[in-house]
Amino acid sequence: MNATPALKRRSFFKLGIGSAIVLALAGGTMALMKPGLVDGKLSQPARLVMTRVAQAMLAGTLPADPAAQRQALDAVLQRTDAFFVGLPTHVLAELDQLLGLLASAPGRRFLVGLSTSWEEATAAETTAALKGMLESGTELRIQACQGLHDLVMVPYFSGKESWTVLGYPGPTAV
């Protein structure tokens, strides 16, 4: 498979990160990276990443009640796995690498700018970090944030629960 733009060494150097971390990640030690996808579905670490990202990106849209929110998030993650089935292999390869990178502590720190673990990150912390990616001026970070945005929004709006939030009545029967 082709190296994705996300993993070009040149891009890492542009971020001004300590070379030890850069080499550890970009030097092919995939051992540091957890898998992003397993059997074409979100790995457990990737599920945690996407849960936190969805909580931030859908803040104010997901139900506030914790139990209802958990249910809504599970539905989004389920639809994310279903969404993967239709994606071309080159996109899946990129997502596998991106999610694996984000799930690892060094990747989370320098790509997202989040020092707290995903487990402990609050919606506010994650939101600030994601906004920072868009404002970073770094192509790699903006691409990554926009990729995450698609991965949250397409599965969320593919579900009929979103129609109630939107006020969409559904298609006209013919």
Partner 1 sequence: MSNIPDPILQGLQRGWKVLGGKHGALPERLSCDVAIIGSGAGAGITAELLTKAGLNVVIVEEGPLKSSTDFKQLEPEAYASLYQENAGRKTKDKGITILQGRSVGGTTTVNWTSSFRTPPETLKFWQDRFGLKDYSVEALAPYFQQVQTRLNIEPWAVAPNENNELLRRGAAKLGIKAEVIPRNVKGCYNLGSCGMGCPTNAKQSMLVTTLPYALDRGATLLVETRVEKMVIEGSRVTALQCIAVKPNAAPAHPGGAVTTVVARHIVLAGGAINSPALLMRSKAPDPHQRLGSRTFLHPVAITTAVMAEPVQAWTGAPQSIYSDHFMHTQPVDGPMAFKLEVAPLHPVFFGANLPGFGESQAALFRQYPNAHVTLALMRDGFHPQSVGGKVELRSDGSPLLDYPLTDYVLEGARRAMLAMAQIQFEAGARMVYPGHELARGTSTWAETKAAIEALPMKPLLTRIGSAHVMGGCGMAADEKAGVTRPDGQHWQLENLSIHDGSIFPTSIGANPQLSIYGTVNRLAQGLAKRLTSKEVALA
Three-state SS at 173: coil
Is the Cα dihedral 136, 139, 140, 144 positive or negative? positive
For partner 1, the closer CB: 20 or 86: 86
Instruction: Return the number of the residue (32 or 83) whose C-beta is nearest partner 1.
Output: 83
CB of 39 to partner 1, least distance (A): 15
Complex with partner 1: residue 23 or 150, whichever CB lies closer: 150
- The CB-of-24 to partner 1 minimum distance in angstroms stands at 26
To partner 1, the closest distance from the beta carbon of 15 in angstroms equals: 16
Q: How far is the CB of 51 from partner 1 (least distance, A)?
A: 15
Burial label for 165, CB within 10 Å (0-12, 13-18, 19+), is middle
Tell me how far the alpha carbon of residue 163 is from its chain's centroid: 23
Chain residues in the site for partner 1 (CB under 8 A) = 1-2, 5, 56-61, 83, 85-91, 127, 130-131, 134-135, 139, 142-143, 146-147, 149-150, 152-154, 156-158, 162-163, 165-168, 171-174
Determine the 3-state secondary structure of 38 from DSSP: strand
Decide whether 33 or 54 has the Cβ nearer to partner 1.
54
Measured between alpha carbons, how far is 140 from 149 in angstroms, rounded to an integer? 14
CB 51 within 8 A of CB 71: no
